[in-house]
Structure 1
Amino acid sequence: MPLPTFSPRSHNRQMLRKLLVVVVVMFAFGWSLIPLYEKICEVTGINVLARLDENLKGTTALPQNTQVDKSRLITVEFDANSQGAWRFRPVKNSIQVHPGELTTITYEVANQQNRTVAGQAIPGYLPLKSAEYFRKLTCFCFQQQTLGPNEARQFPVVFVVDPKLPKDVQRITLTYTFFEVAGATPKQAG
């Protein structure tokens, strides 16, 4: 019985066909994963957020922050002290906020000197126990501020009063002391 002849060329073609079939099957499987995933999520109820977004389409209502405690109001008072030739004050003296509500207030700082000066604000809280429940997200007190001669600027403070604030605290005073940082700015020739 004669042995079959083995041709490397035919073997390569056969392997190429098998690999092409594997590539096509893999591509089809990858392509079908998206609708398959969506169908599985729809049936099992896993992808709840996507359905909520679809329900909001065409409405002007935004999702509500469920961490805001609408059952109570906290009065937040703002105070400012300065050491040196600064004019420093809050734009508003007080506001009322619900715990958990994102709030922005503004402080004005003016350098009343004829030279560039760097300053730093240090916060204080009354009552003292409120400090751990007063969360500042943005604050000019996080870093030194440099103001040019006679320059005035407004700085925002973005904060949230933690809903875990004890119920007996109904008023918080946020006070800043703004002072010059010696040696923080280059000396100008005089």
Structure 2
Amino acid sequence: MTDSRDRQRRHTALLLLVAVGMFGFAFALVPLYNVFCELTGINGKTSGQAAVSVQTSPILEREVTIQFLAHVGRGMPWEFRPMESRLRVRLGEVNETRFYVRNHANQAVTGQAVPSVAPGLAARYLHKIECFCFTQQTLEAGEEMEMLVKFYMGVDLPADINTLSLSYALFPVTVAQTTGLEIDRDSSDITSAAHEEHSGS
């Protein structure tokens, strides 16, 4: 009887250890996946840190086309669009582009832009020196702004990648809760309009 109880206790303890181990592994999956994406460029994730601005690599004659896309998340009362839809760049050359934003709410709103690159493999070769996505952006009611992206393409970009897209999704971070969010009548469908522009580009 004693041996049976001991075996049952050991079995129960083993099951508890397995359960705790599985929980810890699942908890660690998200940060490990994010690190993996940043290192490999899979899933189109780009680094959240600025690249070194000093030009250390040669500028090649090879050119690629970069398409710029913008999308606003649900509940984000901003107009958001690239100021140029595409840019032809040489590998290793520092380039700039800008995105236009305007807050159509009647109060200040803070947003955070999340970048992605397609094809995903190209993400590791797109180096951002300056980007509005590095920090949260706050616009007062009715305020508009041009937001800068300064970047260069790595000279070791694979030869079979000639066109890539840099896309930003903009999400609300904080919205004042005093009277509720109100949108101007002439911009009541900002999200849909941006999505249609994104689909048609």
Does structure 1 residue 105 correspond to structure 2 residue 97?
yes
What percentage of aligned pairs have identical amino acids? Answer: 35
What does residue 68 of structure 1 align with? 59
8 Å contact from structure 1 (residues 115, 188) kept in 2: no
Q: 2:110 aligns with which of 118, 127, 131?
A: 118
TM (normalized to structure 1)?
0.62
Match of 1:166 in 2: 158
**What residue is the counterpart of 1:138 in the other structure?**
130
Hey, what's the Cα distance between the residues in 2 that align with 1:75 and 1:132?
16
**Distance in 2 separating the partners of 1:89 and 1:74:** 22
Contact 2:57 2:155 in 1 (8 A): no
1:182 to partner: Cα distance: 3.3
Q: Return the offset for 1:162.
A: 0.3
Other-structure match for 1:25: none
| 1:79 partner amino acid | L
**After superposition, where does 1:40-119 map in structure 2 within 5 Å?**
67-70=58-61, 72-83=62-73, 84-119=76-111
Higher RCO (CA < 8 A, seq sep 6+): 2
Instruction: Give the count of matched residue pairs.
Output: 124
Residue type at the aligned position of 1:80: A
Unaligned 5+ runs, structure 2: 1-54, 181-201
Return the alpha-carbon distance in structure 2 between the equivalents of residues 167 and 69 of structure 1.
Answer: 13
The higher radius of gyration belongs to 1
Q: Does 1:176 align with 2:165?
A: no
Deviation sequence 1:132-168 (CA, Å, 0-9, x none): 0000000000000000001110011000000000010
Q: Structure 2 counterpart of 1:158, which letter?
A: K
SS at structure 2 position matched to 1:122: strand
8 Å Cα contact 2:97/2:148 also seen in 1: yes
Quote the offset at 1:65 in angstroms: 8.2
